[in-house]
């Protein structure tokens, strides 16, 4: 949090550190570390059984996929918080709008050109995911930040709570493509001569999440004794709402839960199995409720692991690109050595998997630990580099 007075003798590194909110960095770092597990599972240990299928998947496989559900909503929500904090450092709002437009479009380009190549080792299709939706969220927020905060709060609530009332569009055509980009389940759009587009993240619901983060941004300039209860109460309210709505199967998710013949544990997994694409009301109540509780606790965290997480959280986009590159490149080497040819399990049909392949969650977790430990060192270097330099392009990475 910005301090009211920064002594002249304090170093440039200390001034940068003092302008940050620890809770935001720690929680963002935590979800980024968990995010790596999901990407590693897809590259290193895919399964023929869908992890969300509680009728077939093991509990460990389910939770290996379920834990990363907290990543995208927390990341997008904290992007909104960070935009509000950034705005407080700028003397003029037009400067903020211009920055949001340029950085947002830059993220969209990187998603299309760089991230797709890293994930696929080519361009068989153009996959539009979280970086794409954050980019367009920034572009839209460049206009929305001119509206009163109360209006933005109402808009965020309407989007998050009400978008489940909208119908799913099937099939998606040129006539309804614009609406489908705003709100729909994942869909493929062939746009010759380009590769087909797979839209995994529709813009509308995620814009609501970013707006919610932006609206509560002022909480992070309150004294800690005021901020913590606000975050805690908001988190508890969302979790209570999740339990109440989910228990009744009345509203808030496309897929109702049910009692499972496999036993109580799998009935609980069915209860927790909520819809991410697009993020349902219940998905956001659960994930953001937990995120708010973590934010209320992380500000005073002093353990060494929390400081490691803070390092990752201070260089989120650098970490994001680097972790995908490391996971993808290492999977290329592993499959080349193990099967005699590179195999991209994330984008290869099951029928074409090597006969010698077998899934192993142990392998995925071992690789996860190795990747996270390896990433710490370049992230620590880049964190220090950012603290010691003020180049304009650093705000885009």
How high is the mean pLDDT in each 10-residue block of the chain (397 residues)? 33 46 96 97 96 96 97 97 94 94 97 96 94 97 96 98 93 91 93 91 97 97 94 98 97 96 97 96 98 94 93 96 97 97 93 95 98 98 93 84
Quick check: is 223 in a domain? Answer: no
Alpha-carbon separation of residue 77 from 28, 171, 295, 310, 320 (angstroms): 10, 30, 12, 17, 16
**What's the confidence (pLDDT) of residue 19?**
60
**What's the confidence (pLDDT) of residue 9?**
35
CA-wise closest residue to 167 among 179, 155, 154: 179
**What's the confidence (pLDDT) of residue 396?**
83
Cα–chain-centroid distance for residue 311? 17
Quick check: is 330 in a domain? Answer: yes
Rg of the chain, C-alpha, whole Å: 21
What is the domain extent for residue 339? Answer: 1-51+302-391
Residue 202 and residue 185: Cα distance in Å, rounded?
Answer: 7
**What's the confidence (pLDDT) of residue 1?**
32
Residue 160 and residue 282: Cα distance in Å, rounded?
Answer: 10
Residue 245 and residue 259: Cα distance in Å, rounded?
Answer: 16
User: What is the per-residue burial (b if ≥16 Cβ within 10 Å, else e) of 36-64?
Assistant: bbbbbbbbbbbbeeebbebeebeeebbeb
Quick check: is 282 in a domain? Answer: no
Do the beta carbons of residue 288 and residue 316 sit within 8 Å? no
Quick check: is 95 in a domain? Answer: no
300, with CB counted inside 10 A (0-12, 13-18, 19+), is: exposed
Alpha-carbon separation of residue 166 from 179, 204, 277, 280 (angstroms): 11, 11, 13, 11
**What's the confidence (pLDDT) of residue 78?**
97
Quick check: is 146 in a domain? Answer: no
Quick check: is 58 in a domain? Answer: no
Quick check: is 370 in a domain? Answer: yes
State how many domains the chain has: 1
**What's the confidence (pLDDT) of residue 386?**
92
Quick check: is 57 in a domain? Answer: no
**What's the confidence (pLDDT) of residue 115?**
97
Residue 104 and residue 188: Cα distance in Å, rounded?
Answer: 23
User: Which residues pair with residue 197 across a beta bridge?
Assistant: 126, 189
Cα–chain-centroid distance for residue 178? 23
């Amino acid at each position: 949090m910005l301090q009211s007075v920064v002594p002249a003798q304090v170093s440039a590194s200390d001034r940068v550190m003092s302008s940050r909110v620890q809770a935001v960095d720690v929680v963002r770092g935590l979800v980024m570390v968990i995010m790596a597990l999901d990407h590693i599972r897809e590259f290193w240990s895919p399964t023929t059984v869908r992890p969300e299928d509680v009728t077939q998947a093991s509990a460990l496989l389910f939770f290996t996929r379920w834990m990363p559900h907290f990543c995208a909503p927390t990341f997008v929500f904290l992007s909104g918080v960070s935009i509000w904090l950034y705005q407080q450092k700028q003397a003029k709002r037009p400067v903020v709008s211009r920055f949001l437009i340029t950085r947002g479009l830059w993220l969209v380009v990187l998603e299309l050109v760089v991230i797709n190549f890293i994930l696929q080792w080519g361009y068989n299709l153009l996959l539009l995911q979280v970086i794409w939706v954050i980019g367009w969220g920034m572009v839209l927020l460049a206009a929305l930040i001119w509206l009163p905060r109360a209006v933005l709060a109402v808009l965020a609530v309407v989007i998050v709570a009400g978008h489940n009332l909208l119908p799913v569009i099937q099939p998606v055509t040129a006539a309804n493509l614009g609406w489908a980009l705003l709100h729909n389940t994942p869909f493929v759009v062939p746009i010759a001569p380009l590769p087909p587009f797979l839209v995994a993240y529709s813009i509308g619901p995620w814009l609501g999440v970013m707006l919610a983060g932006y609206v509560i941004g002022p909480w992070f300039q309150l004294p800690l004794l005021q901020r913590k209860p606000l975050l805690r109460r908001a988190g508890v309210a969302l979790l209570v709402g999740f339990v109440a709505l989910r228990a009744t199967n009345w509203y808030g998710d496309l897929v109702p839960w049910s009692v499972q013949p496999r036993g109580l544990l799998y009935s609980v997994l069915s209860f927790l199995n909520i819809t991410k694409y697009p993020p349902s009301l219940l998905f956001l109540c659960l994930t953001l409720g937990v995120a708010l509780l973590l934010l209320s606790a992380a500000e005073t965290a002093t353990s060494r692991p929390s400081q490691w997480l803070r390092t990752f959280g201070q260089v989120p986009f650098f970490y994001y690109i680097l972790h995908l590159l490391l996971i993808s490149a290492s999977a290329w080497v592993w499959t080349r050595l193990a099967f005699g040819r590179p195999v991209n399990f994330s984008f290869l049909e099951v029928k074409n998997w090597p006969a010698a392949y077998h899934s192993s969650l142990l392998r995925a977790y071992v690789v996860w630990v190795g990747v996270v430990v390896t990433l710490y060192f370049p992230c620590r270097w880049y964190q220090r580099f950012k603290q010691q330099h003020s180049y304009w392009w650093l705000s885009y990475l």
